[in-house]
Amino acid sequence: MSKNKSRSAILLIYCPDRTGLVASVTNFIGKYGGNILYLDQHVDLEKKVFFMRVEWDLENFKIENSKIGAEFDINVGKKFMMKWELSFSDDKLRMALFVSEMPHCLYDIISRYHAGEWHVEIPAIISNHTTLNNVAEKFSLPYYVFPIDKDNKKEQEAKQMELLKDLNIDFIVLARYMQVLSDEFISYYPNKIINIHHSFLPAFPGAKPYHSAYARGVKIIGSTSHYVTAELDAGPIIEQDVVRVSHADSISDLIRKGRDLEKVVLSRAVWFHVQRKILAYDNRTVIFT
Amino acid sequence: MSKNKSRSAILLIYCPDRTGLVASVTNFIGKYGGNILYLDQHVDLEKKVFFMRVEWDLENFKIENSKIGAEFDINVGKKFMMKWELSFSDDKLRMALFVSEMPHCLYDIISRYHAGEWHVEIPAIISNHTTLNNVAEKFSLPYYVFPIDKDNKKEQEAKQMELLKDLNIDFIVLARYMQVLSDEFISYYPNKIINIHHSFLPAFPGAKPYHSAYARGVKIIGSTSHYVTAELDAGPIIEQDVVRVSHADSISDLIRKGRDLEKVVLSRAVWFHVQRKILAYDNRTVIFT
Amino acid sequence: MSKNKSRSAILLIYCPDRTGLVASVTNFIGKYGGNILYLDQHVDLEKKVFFMRVEWDLENFKIENSKIGAEFDINVGKKFMMKWELSFSDDKLRMALFVSEMPHCLYDIISRYHAGEWHVEIPAIISNHTTLNNVAEKFSLPYYVFPIDKDNKKEQEAKQMELLKDLNIDFIVLARYMQVLSDEFISYYPNKIINIHHSFLPAFPGAKPYHSAYARGVKIIGSTSHYVTAELDAGPIIEQDVVRVSHADSISDLIRKGRDLEKVVLSRAVWFHVQRKILAYDNRTVIFT
Amino acid sequence: MSKNKSRSAILLIYCPDRTGLVASVTNFIGKYGGNILYLDQHVDLEKKVFFMRVEWDLENFKIENSKIGAEFDINVGKKFMMKWELSFSDDKLRMALFVSEMPHCLYDIISRYHAGEWHVEIPAIISNHTTLNNVAEKFSLPYYVFPIDKDNKKEQEAKQMELLKDLNIDFIVLARYMQVLSDEFISYYPNKIINIHHSFLPAFPGAKPYHSAYARGVKIIGSTSHYVTAELDAGPIIEQDVVRVSHADSISDLIRKGRDLEKVVLSRAVWFHVQRKILAYDNRTVIFT
């Protein structure tokens, strides 16, 4: 994915913690003339794991983009058993949107895309319903319908996966997509599928969380964006936010207030992902802000 | 509990919803010269229950305090099958504090009491440990120790209840008291025992919620004050609040941040209770703010 | 604006405080068979002003819609010197949107409108630039351009006002419209023009608040929606919200985080207005929630 | 202040930004066997200033504590024109508390101190009133009264400064101290005096901010802790927080809600200061969290 005229390079790293890690990485960058724009690191002292995000200006960097990864691995990565991921600030990630019948997250994402807030492409909006086709059409975005029922789920998912592969999709956003993805599907996109769940997880997983929140009489409701894993609503959390409610709020008030949370929390998660600011590890996320 | 020179009367009411409820109550007050200072009502449209809090100035009110309740019941309450509770703004509620070994909530409550923030008496601080006796002593508050183990729980609780009765206690605050009260104890104080749980309920009930929150990787932690019922951490919620955390926060950071939440959330709940601003119904609370 | 088959009537009232106000209003409604769905009142004890919002079901109400106002005024309003405003839940307010070049609030409003979140009509989007015409077009909404410079402002405003009058506009939303309206314009729409200011007012009024917030080193930024009055950014506040920032956030980060606040805070204000939940008095608002 | 058996060393650094800074610092630490526990850095890209906080384990560090500063300066600091400050995790800062008549912040601070939340000494509580002497006495803390009026301010401040010097005070906390300190006083403690202002600065500086907030009709109130500089309420902000209010809140409700904010926001600021997590630069703060 590397190109030759990127403005900056971004390296996400994790490895067993030991002395000299930061120095080794920054020495490598400095040695070839890279000017560090951003560096953040985190050490999980309990598990003894080191996490780092470093971004540097490529203007005077002496290694060409296509060789940076290999050079880094030989000089630094292998020595410290690093898992690393290199990207460039002008790479445009290709995002697929999965939706069902509720439009608020879709509208929010498309309007950000259209206003140029995010550096992404949207090659596909995928749904099990035709309902939101009219939204996609307004913005001339391709809309694919895969109606799913009990009998055809496996087969429809296979078609979805084929489409995603054909379109060279980098990551998937479930914008209130009401279907549960199969483990197989999920396994193809580890930490690449972002979901929004309309509760403050781990409270109220599963269906109808606003109804449950109302019944429990909570004074605050929330929304949670997370990477999808095989266990439902249990993947690594990327972002959460909350809003105050009271006895005076009916279930429909919770739904109304929750919609605003959902769209903002989902969009923040997408933004972190697109900016390569997330490292998921052991079902938790490190978010470099 | 009524006296003759109260400044204002407070009536908390709930009953089946029907037309004419607000008019009947306000007509009763107006007819005897009461000037309404505060009125708030709420209708649970789903369950068809009406809730109301009304407070009026007693200066020119023509019924003497000791007879207001009976007059109200005859004129209004019975007709609408109202459950109601009358109190007076200068009644001083008697609060018992239950603590264990952590001092932050105790300090917060005592300092509010000492600064005159609340209109209460504290006739007893009760603990299963001697640890916080020194705090009580500083403020010359009576501190009673009832060490509890597996074998003596029933017997010790009986003694606690006797003490509470002797001291004419109106309500109980569990200020990080780490013991589970028996169903029998709880049944004596329905909606009169306020607990603080150090999580955003219903997430992480039970022991060690900060450890669970850390393991789950949440981005926000919370605190919940609620009335104690037979089911652990499942009583009607009075107040909740949250604070943002990140991957950089260790468990001890969560505990540190959580302490500030706990004391504020518990104290808000006590304040609502003391101001007679809470109606608990069907495991939810109406909070008249 | 009244019709015969409204589902409910909404009365917003304020007047000098005295005894018997709530009873008089609720007696009037009850006498004619109205079932109160919602009642909230507030007394400003300092200024001795009474505020009330009451909503009742019209199904069995014995006065026809077109006569309710007059009957209320004769029976109750005049007696208490009430200022009141009657509306019906199925009235559809006609909203004009004023925009300039930033699309985020416009997108947010249009998508809510299109998704049916609000019970309004949008007969006009008005701008001093052609920039956002493409957004309006996508949703087939009429877009009017009135380019404004130093010399033609008065004349262009006159044309805008004529258009608003022709279109029978009920209220105006300034969705990041960057022009200051003249006092004359404002005087035609008292408490009918909602603005979003991108700061936590009264901090940082006027131009470039994010730049000022950055320079001041605040740890939280905010957004404020308010009714427009002759004094710039000083009208009655309807809603505010905030988001945490840090030293790591550049001005462009503040702008990015602020955009999400702006659209949510503006939309909440519009929702309150459309639901007739706002009474503005003495440069403050009573919001019946 | 260095000792020989510290558990960890903390270095706060700022200097003009250039390549190689992180590598130089971490190389220095690594070369002498230090294991980095925490590293965070920030670059102000606009002003081209580099900020860093690094903390390392001293167990196997080969330079003795008293020589670390000099060695660092020779090897790294001078070369990059660094301003730096070295401290050790077991240094106990000596804090003076200035109070007036309101007790809530004082109680909060003393109870944290007493519960061992902070690693500090409190050699003096200083006041212009005798009011809070009883609080100090309860905790056996020395309480000094310097009554201040228009005529004796200069002279009393001189005595205060002498006392602070005698007691070897490291930093000062103004816990709702209602006096304005002279420029001279302030100049002796640059970025060493922490104030709590009871508004969301820069809104409502100066006296009676809750009254001003009420009059302006804000929907959110705040609290701000900052370092004191010559210009009133205009020093670098350390921490802010807010709480929602409504039309139903009177001025005394704002004061009540604000008290809880004040104590929490002040205590967070003190905690950051004690943990050496703050770098103040150009009237802004970098807070390493």
Of A180-194, C133-147, D35-49, D130-144, the poorest mean pLDDT is in D35-49
> Are C242 and C222 a contacting pair, CB within 8 Å?
yes
Tell me the per-residue pLDDT of B46-84, one tens digit each, with 9 for 90 and over: 899 999 999 999 999 999 999 999 999 999 999 999 999
> How far does C286 lie from chain D, in Å, by closest CA?
5
Query: Distance of CA A214 to CAs A251, B28, D122, Å?
Result: 6, 34, 48
> Are C113 and C96 a contacting pair, CB within 8 Å?
no
Q: Give the tokens for residue D43.
A: 């670059």
d(C-alpha B216, C-alpha D252), whole Å: 40
Q: What angle is formed at CA C113 by the lines to CA C111 and CA C114, rounded to 5 degrees?
A: 65
SS3 call for D85:
strand
In percent, the amount of chain C with pLDDT more than 70 equals 98
Question: In chain D, what residues touch A43 (CB-CB under 8 Å)?
Answer: 36-38
d(C-alpha C87, C-alpha C9), whole Å: 6
Tell me the per-residue pLDDT of D14-25, one tens digit each, with 9 for 90 and over: 999 988 898 899
Partner D contacted by C40 (CB < 8 A): no
Mean pLDDT of chain C: 94
Which residues fall within 8 angstroms of residue B34, CB to CB, at 6 or more apart?
B9, B56, B57, B58, B60, B61, C19
Size of interface B-D (CB pairs under 8 A): 41
Q: Is beta strand A35-44 parallel, antiparallel or unpaired with respect to A49-57?
A: antiparallel
pLDDT given for residue A1 in this prediction: 34
Query: Distance of CA D271 to CAs B107, B256, C121, D117, Å?
Result: 18, 11, 53, 9
Biggest CA pair distance of chain D: 63
SS3 call for B46:
coil
SS3 call for C265:
helix
Q: Is beta strand A83-88 parallel, antiparallel or unpaired with respect to A8-16?
A: antiparallel
Question: In chain D, what residues touch C287 (CB-CB under 8 Å)?
Answer: 219, 246-247
DSSP string, chain A: ---SS-SEEEEEEEEE--TTHHHHHHHHHHHTTPEEEEEEEEEETTTTEEEEEEEEE-TT-SS-HHHHHHHHIIIIIGGGT-EEEEEETT--EEEEEEE-S--HHHHHHHHHHHTT-S-EEEEEEEESSSTTHHHHHHTT--EEE----TTTHHHHHHHHHHHHHHTT--EEEESS--SPPPHHHHHHSTT-EEEEESSSTTSS-SS-HHHHHHHHT-SEEEEEEEE--SSTT-SPEEEEEEEE--TT--HHHHHHHHHHHHHHHHHHHHHHHHTT-EEEETTEEEE--
> Are B119 and B271 a contacting pair, CB within 8 Å?
no
d(C-alpha D216, C-alpha D234), whole Å: 21
Q: Name residues of chain B where pLDDT drops below 50.
A: 1-5
**Do B43 and C40 count as a contact with CB atoms less than 8 A apart?**
no
Partner C contacted by A4 (CB < 8 A): no
| Confidence category of residue A91, pLDDT binned at 50, 70, 90 | very high
Nearest to A189 by CA among A153, A217, A160, A150: A160
Q: Running DSSP on this structure, what letter comes out for residue D181?
A: P
Partner A contacted by D23 (CB < 8 A): yes
Residue D36 pLDDT greater than 80, yes or no? yes
pLDDT given for residue A139 in this prediction: 95
d(C-alpha D255, C-alpha D252), whole Å: 5
Query: Which one is catalytic: B233, B241, B249, B253?
Result: B233
Q: Running DSSP on this structure, what letter comes out for residue D180?
A: P
Q: Is beta strand C93-99 parallel, antiparallel or unpaired with respect to C83-88?
A: unpaired
> Are A38 and D51 a contacting pair, CB within 8 Å?
no
Query: Which one is catalytic: D91, D170, D233, D249?
Result: D233
Mean pLDDT of chain D: 94
- pTM (predicted TM-score): 0.95
Q: Give the tokens for residue D142.
A: 């020395």
CB nearest to D247's CB, from C219, C250, C287: C287
**Do C108 and A103 count as a contact with CB atoms less than 8 A apart?**
no
Mean per-residue pLDDT for A142-171? 96
pLDDT given for residue D167 in this prediction: 98
Rg (CA), chain C: 21
CB nearest to A248's CB, from B42, B46, B222: B42
Nearest to D96 by CA among D119, D118, D133, D125: D125
| Confidence category of residue A99, pLDDT binned at 50, 70, 90 | very high
Partner B contacted by D117 (CB < 8 A): yes
d(C-alpha B159, C-alpha B167), whole Å: 12
pLDDT given for residue D4 in this prediction: 40
Of A139-148, B14-23, D95-104, the poorest mean pLDDT is in B14-23
CB nearest to C35's CB, from B19, B36, B38: B19
Identify the residue whose tokens are 């400044």: B7
Rg (CA), chain A: 21
Catalytic annotation present for A282: no
pLDDT given for residue B88 in this prediction: 95
Question: Residue B271, Cα to own-chain centre: how many angstroms?
Answer: 8
> How far does D266 lie from chain C, in Å, by closest CA?
14
If one counts every other C-beta atom within 10 angstroms of the C-beta of residue B14, the result is: 21
Question: With 0-12 CB in 10 A as exposed, 13-18 as middle and 19+ as buried, what is C45?
Answer: exposed
Q: Where are the domains of chain A?
A: 8-88, 93-287
Partner D contacted by A20 (CB < 8 A): yes
If one counts every other C-beta atom within 10 angstroms of the C-beta of residue B180, the result is: 13
| Confidence category of residue A275, pLDDT binned at 50, 70, 90 | very high
Partner D contacted by C48 (CB < 8 A): no
C237 residue type, one letter: I
> Are A243 and A199 a contacting pair, CB within 8 Å?
no
**Do A256 and C104 count as a contact with CB atoms less than 8 A apart?**
no
Q: Name residues of chain C where pLDDT drops below 50.
A: 1-5
pLDDT given for residue A4 in this prediction: 40
Mean pLDDT of chain A: 94
Q: Running DSSP on this structure, what letter comes out for residue D190?
A: T
> How far does D62 lie from chain A, in Å, by closest CA?
15
pLDDT given for residue B4 in this prediction: 40
If one counts every other C-beta atom within 10 angstroms of the C-beta of residue B92, the result is: 12
Tell me the per-residue pLDDT of A197-249, one tens digit each, with 9 for 90 and over: 999 999 999 999 999 999 999 999 999 999 999 999 999 999 999 999 999 99
Q: Which CATH class is domain C8-88?
A: alpha beta
> Are A92 and A3 a contacting pair, CB within 8 Å?
no
Sheet with A120-127, strands from edge to edge, namely A143-145, A120-127, A93-99, A171-174, A193-197, A220-227, A237-244
If one counts every other C-beta atom within 10 angstroms of the C-beta of residue D14, the result is: 21
Contacting B residues, span 202-261, partner chain C, CB-CB under 8 Å: 244
Find chains touching chain C: ≥3 CB pairs under 8 Å. A, B, D
d(C-alpha C219, C-alpha A146), whole Å: 46
pLDDT given for residue B6 in this prediction: 58
Query: Which one is catalytic: A91, A108, A233, A249?
Result: A233
| Helical axes A251-274 vs A104-114, angle rounded to 10° | 30
Question: With 0-12 CB in 10 A as exposed, 13-18 as middle and 19+ as buried, what is B244?
Answer: middle
pLDDT given for residue A36 in this prediction: 86
> Are D10 and D88 a contacting pair, CB within 8 Å?
yes
Q: Is beta strand A143-145 parallel, antiparallel or unpaired with respect to A120-127?
A: parallel
CB nearest to B240's CB, from A46, A218, A283: A218
Q: Running DSSP on this structure, what letter comes out for residue B73?
A: I
Question: In chain B, what residues touch A42 (CB-CB under 8 Å)?
Answer: 247-248
pLDDT given for residue C6 in this prediction: 58
Question: In chain A, what residues touch C107 (CB-CB under 8 Å)?
Answer: 107, 111, 114-115
Q: Which CATH class is domain D93-287?
A: alpha beta
> How far does A30 lie from chain D, in Å, by closest CA?
6
Nearest to C258 by CA among C190, C206, C170, C196: C196
